[in-house]
Structure 1
Amino acid sequence: MKASTRQQRLLLDLQDLDNTLARLRRKRATLPERGDLDALSGDTAAARDRFMQAQRELDTRRTELARIEADVATVQQRRDRDTQMLSVSTSSKEAQSLQGELDTLSRRQSELEDRELELMEVVEGVQATFSEAESHLAGIDARRAEIQARLDDAERRLDAELASNTEERAGLAAELQRDLLDLYEELRGRIGLGAARLRGNVSEGSNMALAPAELSDIRATAPDEIVFCPGSGAILVRDFED
């Protein structure tokens, strides 16, 4: 295949752009923020489980306390009723019965109030545990949001660079003759490299010095004839004299 020296030089520019695009894509895929988010995921799951467990415990204790408080209120209402009835009772038998019930209610209320105080202390402790778990989870969430914001910003900047270089590549590719571009793309897809520069006696495709016989053959080839790197197989662009 033949191509002008200018066309061959354009291949090097195209390869440089492809190298830049590959580097940008690797950088985007390996942004450190991604690792930070992955590392944080385990902490997030543990903190969320702890928070949910504390919340369930708090709900259970609050429900239990509310039930006791309702029982205390019910007993107090019955005591108030019996006290009022006792105050207007004219029957000694009825008064004796009401007094006995009042004594029972008083003991029951005392037991309930003791339990109520115990539960209030338990709820207070569980509330502290819940608040600490809630604060810990909020801190992790804030950390994750901060990392995500940095990741989004880094991605936006890299995406802008990718778009700019992709646009430049499209313009450059349009300047290349079709068969030369097809050859370049075929080689790049197959061996990962489409074109490389011959600098002195070293091919940048293989980063190795060419054997004297190989170098002699390449130097003897017409400037517009496409030659290939013996080591890598990429198109080898020579140092042409303008």
Structure 2
Amino acid sequence: MKASPRQQLLLLDLQDLDTGTARLTRKRQQIPERAELESFAGEMSDVRERFMSAQRELDGLRADLERIESDVATVAERRQRDERLLEVSTSSKEAQALQSELDTLAHRTAALEDRELELMESVEASETRFASAEAALTELNERRGTLQAAIEAAERAIDSDLARTAKERAGVAAELQRDLLDLYESTRSRVGIGAARLRGNVSEASNMALAPGELSVIRAAAPDEIVFCPGTGAILVRVEEAAA
């Protein structure tokens, strides 16, 4: 295939833009905050489990305390009723029964109040643990939000660069003759690089010096003849000749 030196130089511009696109794509995938955010998964799971466990414990203790408080109130109402009945009772037998029940209720009240005190202390300790777990979860969510915002900002900047590069690439591609562009694309898809410079005796496709025989064959080719890197198969653009 033949193509003017100017057309061949455009291949280098196209390759530079494709290399830039690949670099930007890797940069987008490797945003530092993304890896840090992904590392949060295990920590977030542990902190969330700690928070939910503390919440379940606190809810259970509060429910137990509410039941005890209800029982205390019920016993208190029963004692008040019996005391009123005892005050107006005219039967010694009835009075004795009421007093016996009052004694039982007094013991019941003491036991309930002791349990109520224990539960109040447990609730207070549980509230402290819950507050600590809640604070840890809030802090982690804030850190995650900060990282997510940084990722989104970086993605917007990179996407802008990608869009600009794509526009520039479309402009360069439009200047290339169709068969040359097709050759470049097929070469790039096959070997990973479409075109590279030949500087002196060094192919930038392989970053190696060509053997004397390989170099003499390439130098003998006409300036508009398409030549290839013997090591990689990429299109070689002879920059000195192309520039001349």
Q: 3-state DSSP class of the match of 2:183?
A: helix
1:73 paired to 2:70: no
Cα displacement (A) at 1:171 = 1.3
Q: Deviations over 1:164-193 (max 9, x none)?
A: 101111111111111100110001001000
TM-score relative to the length of structure 1: 0.97
Q: What number of residue pairs does the alignment pair up?
A: 242
1:152 paired to 2:152: yes
Gapped regions of structure 2 (runs ≥ 5)? none
Q: 3-state DSSP class of the match of 2:198?
A: strand
Cα displacement (A) at 1:225 = 0.9
Q: 3-state DSSP class of the match of 1:149?
A: helix
Cα displacement (A) at 1:97 = 1.3
Q: Deviations over 1:3-51 (max 9, x none)?
A: 1111100000000000000000011111111110122111111011111
Cα displacement (A) at 1:68 = 0.6
Alpha-carbon distance between aligned partners in 2 of 1:206 and 1:96, rounded to the nearest angstrom:
110
Tell me the residue number matched to 2:24: 24
Sequence identity, in percent? 64
Tell me the residue number matched to 1:133: 133
Q: How does 1:1-242 map to 2 (within 5 A)?
A: 1-238=1-238, 239-240=240-241, 241-242=243-244
Q: 3-state DSSP class of the match of 2:130?
A: helix
Q: Deviations over 1:138-173 (max 9, x none)?
A: 111111111111111111111111111011111111
Cα displacement (A) at 1:219 = 1.3
Alpha-carbon distance between aligned partners in 1 of 2:60 and 2:141, rounded to the nearest angstrom:
26
Segment drifting more, 90-99 vs 144-153: 90-99
- Deviation beyond 3 Å, 4+ runs, structure 1: none
Gapped regions of structure 1 (runs ≥ 5)? none
**Which amino acid in structure 1 is aligned with residue 221 of structure 2?**
T
**Which amino acid in structure 2 is aligned with residue 62 of structure 1?**
R
Q: 3-state DSSP class of the match of 1:224?
A: coil
Alpha-carbon distance between aligned partners in 2 of 1:207 and 1:107, rounded to the nearest angstrom:
94
**Which amino acid in structure 2 is aligned with residue 97 of structure 1?**
A
Q: How much is the aligned-residue C-alpha RMSD, in angstroms?
A: 1.0
Q: 3-state DSSP class of the match of 2:134?
A: helix
Cα displacement (A) at 1:86 = 1.5
Cα displacement (A) at 1:196 = 0.5
Alpha-carbon distance between aligned partners in 2 of 1:87 and 1:167, rounded to the nearest angstrom:
99
Q: 3-state DSSP class of the match of 2:197?
A: strand
